[in-house]
Amino acid sequence: MIGIGILKGMAVTLRNFAGSYFEKERLITVQYPEERSPLPENYRNFPFLIFDGNDPDAGLRCVACQICEKECPPQCIYIIKSKDKKPDYVGRPQFYPATFDIDISVCMSCQICVEVCPFEAIKMDKDFELSQRERFDHLLFRKEQLSKSNDYYHKIHPIEAAAVDKNLAEAAAAAEAKKKAAAEAAAKAAAAKAAAASAPTAVASPESAVGSTSAPGAKPSETTNPPKET
């Protein structure tokens, strides 16, 4: 029958249309902000800085290497390096950002800053409710606004955060093992040097005194005086 395919297609459309009003799993509208759709694991919005522990200043992972600032395509990251240093996650003294600003009105959420960071210090956030009444200064996020705990990172990206923590723990363990091996080698070298310094010094025998021509351990040769002339 001519047109049967069209009728079947319209029936499918009608069934889907009616089902979108009655089948809960197919409802596409949520009562925002009371209801919120869950965001996927890989959702990203704007960057934020991670700190370990409870102190954002002492635990900040960023060492102000400024790679993200150089690689940022829209150049929306601004960093000033500190004058002093603080220990990083493996105990090495590192610089830290005295100033770290991101202009989110310019940021394009490309995630390049995350990819190039060698210290796992900057990640992408899921917070999208960032509207402000002011256009300029209120959209310039300072270090205090950007700093968020590692617990928050685990909350929004649990799988990724677990992998990052594992890598950092392995790196810290390797650095600690290397440091321990170097300390043991230094201790052994110091002990060997002390043993060599405390060893008794060999006393020179009379045979080896200055002026002796005999070999060590051999009896000195007798000197024959020439006969006197009469």
Q: What is the pLDDT of residues 126-150, one digit of tens each?
A: 998 888 888 778 889 999 999 999 9
pTM above 0.75, yes or no: no
Q: How confident is the model at residue 162 (pLDDT cuts 50, 70, 90)?
A: very high
Q: How confident is the model at residue 46 (pLDDT cuts 50, 70, 90)?
A: very high
Given a cut of 80, whether residue 215 has pLDDT beyond it is no
Which residues, in sequence order, are CB contacts of 219 under 8 Å at separation 6+? none
Residue among 119, 53, 54 nearest 88 (CA): 119
35: tokens are 């209801």
Q: Are 73 and 159 in contact (CB under 8 A)?
A: no
Higher-confidence residue of 23 and 153: namely: 153
Q: pLDDT value at position 199?
A: 74
Q: pLDDT value at position 66?
A: 94
- 56-60, 100-104, 133-137, 225-229: least confident range: 225-229
Q: pLDDT value at position 227?
A: 58
Q: How confident is the model at residue 153 (pLDDT cuts 50, 70, 90)?
A: very high
Q: pLDDT value at position 24?
A: 74
* CA–CA distance, 208 with 205 (Å, rounded to integer): 5
* CA–CA distance, 14 with 1 (Å, rounded to integer): 21
- 42-46, 76-80, 87-91: least confident range: 87-91
Q: pLDDT value at position 213?
A: 53
Which residues, in sequence order, are CB contacts of 136 under 8 Å at separation 6+? 105
Given a cut of 70, whether residue 2 has pLDDT beyond it is yes
Q: Are 148 and 51 in contact (CB under 8 A)?
A: yes
pLDDT digits (tens, 9 = 90+) for 83-107: 998 887 667 788 999 999 999 989 9
Q: pLDDT value at position 194?
A: 86
Dihedral of alpha carbons 102, 104, 107, 111, sign:
positive
Given a cut of 80, whether residue 32 has pLDDT beyond it is yes
Which residues, in sequence order, are CB contacts of 135 under 8 Å at separation 6+? 105
Given a cut of 90, whether residue 56 has pLDDT beyond it is no
Higher-confidence residue of 89 and 47: namely: 47
Q: pLDDT value at position 163?
A: 94
> How many residues are present in the chain?
230
Given a cut of 60, whether residue 212 has pLDDT beyond it is no
Mean pLDDT of 11-20: 87
